[in-house]
Copies of this chain bind each other. A is one copy, B any other.
């Protein structure tokens, strides 16, 4: 750490600098209304045109270059990112550090950070978020586009400002959890005729070194809150990005290191651990003897392994999203299908909140103008999706690209199965991206199946595929959807009914199944839009994971309470 600037000289400044924003966020978290310190449209960013140009230039400068990161234990370089837009390697070479060196450095960095006051840490971390926003947002937007494959607008909102908001939200919960513990107490009681007077000191002790895995398709939205939850509570964090999507997290790590160092703390509180798809290091990190916390976002298979094998480390996961839609009755079927089609297309359904399984009564959907048959609803939904994706320019805006080559194979496999066991409502096909002719793209695949084809739809198929499932009736549709969410891990659910009693029943059923429910929503808001400070995330009630990001449970276990007590000399007790 910096020998001149003592940590305790900084705190007041940085926390005071961000106090107004932080306190506003505290209010939003309590009331859960709509608020953000950041404009959600790129055009409203301060001096937007210049900032965007600078961000693009900063991103372009990374191509083909060595990413500077002064980490301990450097043992070479690696980098295998390929842009889903250009299908060409980014050519960024990152320093690779030895795992033990990273853990040793992280552990050594914790001391002063853990001893700093809560507000000191919160102030430094608010400064890091602010620095990401002010100096690196558009650079990160382009880095997300050319690794995760998101559109510019989604990268700005979902991987930029919304992710920053989720970070602030975590800091609010972390401070609330830590403020609940008084730092000192005086305790006095008689034992027999003797009065015992003890001064007690309660210390918040971090668990140690956290490992934060970020995923290929949505790197920052989960990782930033997870990093902040560990850091705010005094831990160090080793960030392990998916090898396909390193750059957004490498920029993040560099920013955190710089802000920490400038505040007088050890930059090794945040480091980057890298691997390749051929030689993954995930298991080594999870089972390293110094690992105290694991945050994981990614595949179901590895997520379940993490949950089972992280002990004694604490594990927070977000894995499957086998998300469900039930339509019983509607006031405006076109509006419902339009909203649903939009949400099915959004970033080619590569979001943890994207719907996949659509349960309909086989009798059809009731509307003010009579019942519309099952086949017609399915067809009109497919038409709505087709209408959104027929024009390449519109398709590019909404579908963006496929993050991984494997998604094509998944779609082909699902189409073949669907043909054999049900009906293909809409065939998938590449579309020609107007700006990036080489982009890895696909329009959505839609299948109609019976509810018996549970082995097809009963897990998350990551990418633009959805299943329209014929159920006995509306009650059966609700029962199937909630059962599947509970069993296979549903994060979100969408429900349409004009029957208030049935809505109430669905609310209870999805609450128990642990899927966050949206009822009867139509209009321009994407159905799966999750608002920071207002919408809770993963419930932990089903296999979708337990990393709510947004509640006390996400932070309380990351620090522990150690106390010491000692007698107060008799002279002191009389004046107390």
Contacts and interface: CB of A to CB of B under 8 A. Distances in A.
Interface of A: 30-34, 176-177, 180-182, 185-189, 191-192, 194, 196, 198, 200-203, 205, 207, 307-308, 311-312, 503, 507, 510-512, 514-525, 531, 534-536, 539-541, 543, 548, 550-553, 556-557, 560-567
A551 B185 CA distance: 16
A564 B511 contact: yes
A180 B552 contact: yes
Contacts of A187: 32-34, 531, 534
Given A194-B523, A207-B541, 5 more contacts: A180-B552, A196-B523, A510-B564, A517-B562, A539-B562
Contacts of A30: 182
A235 to B, nearest CB: 12
A31 B182 contact: yes
Contacts of A534: 185, 187, 200
B512 A205 contact: yes
B535 A561 contact: no
A200 B565 contact: no
A514 B522 CA distance: 52
Contacts of A32: 182, 185, 187, 200, 202
Contacts of A520: 566-567
Contacts of A515: 562
A188 B192 CA distance: 62
Nearest to A32: B185
Contacts of A517: 562-565
Nearest to A564: B517
B548 A511 contact: no
Contact of A564 (B311, B507, B548): B507
Given A192-B524, A512-B205, A566-B521, A561 B543 contact: no
Contact of A205 (B34, B203, B539): B539
A311 B189 CA distance: 42
Contact of A556 (B186, B512, B551): B551
13 contacts: A32-B202, A205-B512, A207-B541, A516-B562, A516-B564, A519-B565, A520-B566, A521-B567, A523-B567, A536-B561, A551-B561, A552-B552, A552-B556
B562 A33 contact: no
B189 A34 contact: yes
B181 A551 contact: yes
A191 B512 CA distance: 31
B196 A514 contact: no
Nearest to A557: B553
Nearest to A531: B187
A307 to B, nearest CB: 6
A402 to B, nearest CB: 26
Contacts of A308: 311
B531 A560 contact: no
A181 B562 CA distance: 27
Residue in A31, A192, A520, A534 with the greatest tally of chain B CB atoms within 10 Å: A534
B510 A562 contact: yes
Contacts of A535: 200, 563, 565
Contact of A31 (B34, B185, B205): B185
Contact of A561 (B176, B196, B312, B539): B539
Q: Which 7 A-B pairs have the closest CB atoms?
A: A511-B562, A519-B566, A32-B185, A553-B556, A517-B564, A191-B524, A34-B189
A65 B470 CA distance: 59
A510 B525 CA distance: 53
Contacts of A523: 191, 194, 196, 567
A227 to B, nearest CB: 20
Contact of A185 (B33, B189, B207): B33
A308 B524 CA distance: 47
Contacts of A176: 180
Contacts of A548: 560-561
Contacts of A525: 189, 191, 194, 196
A29 to B, nearest CB: 9
A101 to B, nearest CB: 21
Nearest to A199: B519
Contacts of A185: 31-33, 534
Nearest to A178: B552
A496 to B, nearest CB: 10
A493 to B, nearest CB: 9
A166 to B, nearest CB: 15
A304 to B, nearest CB: 9
Nearest to A553: B556
A511 B203 contact: yes
A560 B205 CA distance: 25
Contacts of A556: 551-553, 556-557
A176 B180 CA distance: 9
A560 B514 contact: yes
A562 B538 CA distance: 9
A564 B196 contact: no
A305 to B, nearest CB: 11
A556 B129 CA distance: 27
Contact of A536 (B510, B514, B563): B563
A81 to B, nearest CB: 33
